[in-house]
Copies of this chain bind each other. A is one copy, B any other.
Amino acid sequence: MKSVVASLRSSCVVALTLCAVLLLRVHAHAQTDPLPSWNDGPAKNAIIGLVLATTEQSSPKFVPPEARIAAFDQDGTTWVSHPMYTQVVYCLERVAVLAKAKPELKNVEPFKTVLSGNREAMAKLSMKDLEKILAATLTGMSVDDFSTDVNNWITSAKDPRWHRLYTDLVYQPMLEVMQYLRANGYKTYIVTGGGQDFVRVYSDRVYGIPPEQVVGSMGGTKYGYAKDGRPILTKEPKLLLNDNMAGKPEGIHLMIGRRPVAAFGNSTGDQQMLEYTGAGDGARLMMLVLHDDAQREYAYGPAQGLPNTKVGTFTQALYDEAKKKGWTVISMKNDWKRIFAFEQ
């Protein structure tokens, strides 16, 4: 009889301890919402669900820390990219600087059009014209000179709508996802169609992502020596990998050599990265940011109900694929409590 009482008492102690532990956990969780800029809903739940499923040791979908890889597209996914990619703005503005050093450019197309400042004419520039501008503004200098120049620009140039630095226009909810994933052992990567060397200049400061975790479109460099004999790497007009569409899984394999567990995008440029991520075993998270908030940011693509087919945007076909494959669409309007850190 005594032993039954003892056993009951010990069961009670165990049960009470368990209750206390559980309450503490719920309390701790309630106290520190890891995603405070997100409204409750399926998108927020999907993110928290992935972290719980992959990090709890007892979970059947547990992923060892070294395999916890998350890939974030940049333009339109982690910062504003509308109406023009920030790096394209940089290149166009660099043309004026170039023309000072080489005045003959003023009479050569497409530089003439860019220097005219005629936005309508600039919008009509062909892909070949754009390539000429990219080659002229992104190559030919040392990698160190390029970094210095991008750093000077990105810490001073301002977006015409918000009159703020472009780096102020990162999405606070996505920064929270990055921090939350890192706090749970994930290695976060930028996987962008933009230039790898461009994004590396500010990735650590802005996203907490070090240069070696930036995967982007990659140009070749050439090793040589400066006049004083110092070794120097010069940026060459040679594209090694266009980190866009099919190039994204190719770039991920090249730079990381592992399949991501989570991938975040917003356009057809990210479709293959999401497919590749989703094709792995176990828990996976694929998310697409839908720009449906004309007031606080922009509304374009299927948010406008348009039969959008333009590559590089969120087309109707991509929206349909997301629904079919169970990818989570993030509505900026409904899922994000605030968009920018400066909105308090």
Residues B257 and A211 in contact, CB atoms below 8 Å apart:
yes
- A253 and B210: CB pair below 8 A? no
Contact with B along A187-220 (1 / 0, CB 8 A): 1000000001100100010000011101000101
Question: What are 12 A-B pairs at a CB distance below 8 A?
Answer: A66-B210, A197-B257, A200-B257, A212-B257, A218-B254, A223-B246, A223-B249, A223-B250, A231-B275, A231-B276, A233-B253, A240-B241
Contact B211 A256 (CB under 8 A): yes
> Of B214, B221, B257, B275, which one neighbours A253 at CB under 8 angstroms?
B221
A223→B257 contact, CB < 8 A:
no
* A310: B residues at CB distance < 8 A: none
The reply to whether the CB of A143 lies closer than 8 angstroms to some CB of chain B is yes
A269 to chain B, nearest CB (A): 13
A255 at the B interface (CB under 8 A): yes
Q: Which of B187, B204, B272 sits near A223, CB closer than 8 Å?
A: B272
- Say yes or no for A222: interface residue by CB 8 A criterion: yes
CA of A121 to CA of B275, assembled, Å: 47
Within 8 A of B (CB), among A272-304: 272, 275-276, 279
Chain A 68-104, CB-CB to B under 8 Å as 1, else 0, gives: 0000000000000000000000000000000000000
Greatest chain B CB density within 10 A among A143, A196, A230, A233 is at A233
Residues of B within 8 A of A231 (CB): 249, 272, 275-276, 279
A233-266, CB < 8 A from B = 233, 240-241, 246-247, 249-250, 253-258
Interface size on A, residues (CB 8 A): 36
Name the residue in A66, A221, A231 with the highest tally of chain B Cβ atoms < 10 Å from its Cβ. A231
Residues of B within 8 A of A230 (CB): 279
Chain B contacts for A233, CB-based, 8 A = 249-250, 253, 276
Chain A, range 123-155, C-beta contacts under 8 Å to B: 143
CA gap between A200 and B255 in the complex, in Å = 11
**What is the minimal beta-carbon distance from A199 to any residue of chain B, in angstroms?**
10
How far, in angstroms, from A217 to B231 measured CA to CA in the complex?
21
Q: A256 touches which one: B212, B223, B241, B250 (CB < 8 A)?
A: B212
Closest B-chain residue to A274, C-beta based? B231
Q: How far is the CA of A253 from the CA of B233 in the complex (A)?
A: 8
Contacts A66-B210, A233-B249, A249-B231; is A221 near B254 (CB within 8 Å)? Answer: yes
Residues of chain B with a CB closer than 8 A to A254's CB: 196, 218, 221, 240
Contact status B255-A212, CB under 8 Å: yes
CA separation between A143 and B253, bound complex, in Å?
A: 9
CA distance A94 to B148 in the complex (A): 48
Residue in A224, A254, A275, A279 whose Cβ sees the most chain B Cβ within 10 Å: A254
Given A143-B253, A220-B250, A233-B276, 4 new contacts (CB under 8 A):
A66-B210, A187-B212, A220-B241, A231-B279
Chain B residues closer than 8 Å to A255, beta-carbon distance: 212, 255
